[in-house]
Structure 1
């Protein structure tokens, strides 16, 4: 009898000590989905709206196990807006049996955690927030198709973001003389209908504004994602359109020839009282639209109302730190020759003298401190002995965000040399911010490129040693995210070897229709107070659509306005000089009630630094690692915890590890079966121990 009991015990041990390996099934959409519906009750949705959906599921006959997962792949007409959001999963008896999570790869992952020894489950997942219109959503009805256990099922929702054929948005800024202006942008034929003739009429009736004649620009435009567009080619009058201007506005006619084409019409109004730009005054503007069309479309009319409130826009000069500037004076003939005793006056952007009779020292430098935020320029009063006076204005900005000195350079030609110079400043046409990274060819009358220059962190570029003659300034590369400007002719004469600074404006290439904004600042990791200028970042939506490209300014800042609620990421697409390109995606989420989410902060390592080598070895492909700083609460991570620094949002860490030949995930989870096996093993050991004990005692 003892032998039989021992044999049974050995068998128990053989079977129970064999590793309990459970295959966790990963079900796809149609394996468990029995039906779904758009369940929020809305008759239409805007691009920033949530779309409520109820998913019905049925696991009859599947024998679900703890650790099993179910992945619902959303079609491109829907998108996950808040990845990382999780909520409990209930069965039909209202018991919690797992969790459901929204993922940035446009899927929903359901993980079953309390289904052991229970069968034939059914239930529903009701998601009313976190899902919105997708990248392939169109104006009007959108079909949502999902596979179910009974075949494909469809439902529809209506997208009403562009039910109007024209919309208007205004931005407050300054003109070249520092006067407050509003740049208005009309989106015309938003639904890209096949119209023949398009007529736009805009006449200013608000007494707080005056129309600026000659300011109208027209671009072909196209959608890049719902609510986001880009300007394509610029139209020319009278070839592409005709315009009749009056003192109060304009009448514009575009020959569309039946094309499915949207247009962006941009123009400027001047604010009559400068105080109204900052005291909360609301400026209103109305425009009307009419068109002709062939076939069933026929003629039609529409309108757009726009408004902007003074004090809502910010640009340079919004900080409170006092800054400084260092001017360095050199010979145009030899960069290595510093020039002492050059006398300059310093002006603000209103043309008022801030300091006068500033003289370069033996090192050719002038150092001015204690400057409040704003735009300034130096102008030479007296040249050094043996050199000609250079009348070019030397422009720069004090941002109020840093105490690091701004560096500018000036050069003079020697006496007796009839050589001139050109100064070019590059500006945002709406905000008047200076733009770094614009590149120009200086072309002589024979078509020869005699100089190639680029704007620095102050938005200015200089060309020296130019003989008397006529030149063409041709922009070869626009700053990141901007449209190239048109060619400009300029003359250098014996009487004017240094013409006044030439201002060239650029329009943003892309835009959005929202009221939200995001700011990013890039720092040098070896000195956390030094911003890094000239880094180019592309902004992507959650589906990987590129929306715009922007560059950091002299303090390492960049800002994107007019954004809609949703989830986005920045990716560095061009590294600044002295730095490697950073492959990390900087993720952030804008909620409906956010106006500005705070500042995204990223720290990058200079080429050759110890930290640079360590990062390349340890984290070559890691996403995240950057933070959002809320100026009101520096310790708060955007107030919501939507940024996960330890996980790549495009490839979320699954709730399992390993794989098997049949593509099912395998895991060694502490499941109920494994716990029972351990208990039986212990019982078997006790039986064997007792048998041995009694046999010895009997002996």
Structure 2
């Protein structure tokens, strides 16, 4: 009886080994890396046509995969036009079906977006996809520019935008932080003109609570779109601030002739709104002049911040169940596209290295200007700029619109990315491990037989 039991165990081990060997040599379909341009039927800029360099440029792609199936693990890569860059590199978002089902995950980098699809589209045909992305202009030049998108069949489409110089004296932006607060930054005297009796009144929007304490810093331009704060920050001797339930009023004691930043925080009072895409708003008004110098001047800046970065995708395909004629029209919706006019929600510039210069940078900047660090320390916190920033006025192109039209065929092919065999290698390694275990078991059985 014992001998028959051992024979059965050996047979079971042999059969298991044979089945494992058969499975391990069967071909495993690798995920396909699709070049999105091969399936893009149209692409365009959806807002504008006039943009300041820090403005968000919204773009949209429409893809139609026709008879090409989309499988679990497949990736779809869309390259941005050469003169645009992602507004928020590193952003991730869900790719949705029209009923809200997640059909993939997308990751945005500086110049492209990669969507990794899941099994939700398995078995469907005529898959379509609409992708909306938030971008910014890549460069500092101004004027009318062509934004060129690659389409299927080596075709292209072109949207025309117009880059204009930001001549505002005041701007602001907000940044949502992980602790449920919003950091607001106001750029004061962007054009570095002489401002007497300078006063800033800031009013926070709904669902925010003012956190007392502001940081006011002299700043300087690194280039046309980047700035740094000088250190140390100003002190209470340089300005007077009065807080209200809705914000604050800040008055400078001395004439201001250079760029100044004002940083402060607000607390979100309804945290459920943070991840909902709700737009938290803020408003600043700057006045200067008056007195014996004449009438007062005034300028206003509005800012907003949201958990949504402006990126999204909606798609789907024909459901082949039943007669196969049911269509969810997944590619016919624009998804997250909105007709809302975008406000000037940025400072128009970028903080460099967190916005504060290092000691070495400070010394180099002062030496370049012909000043010693010792002399600089004796200066008032609010000081007159040595040289007024050149005023650049861009000629605004009248009647420019964001349009889309096919151009001549480009004499280069949009190659598909090579397939990956990662899945095959993974199966092979796993199968090899199991084979060793089974073989070891067979040897043990044989030795006791």
* TM-score normalised according to structure 1 size: 0.28
Considering Cα pairs closer than 8 Å and 6+ residues apart, tell me whether 1 or 2 has the greater RCO: 2
Tell me which protein shows more helix as a share of its residues: 2
TM-score (norm 2): 0.41
Going by fraction, where is strand more abundant, 1 or 2? 1
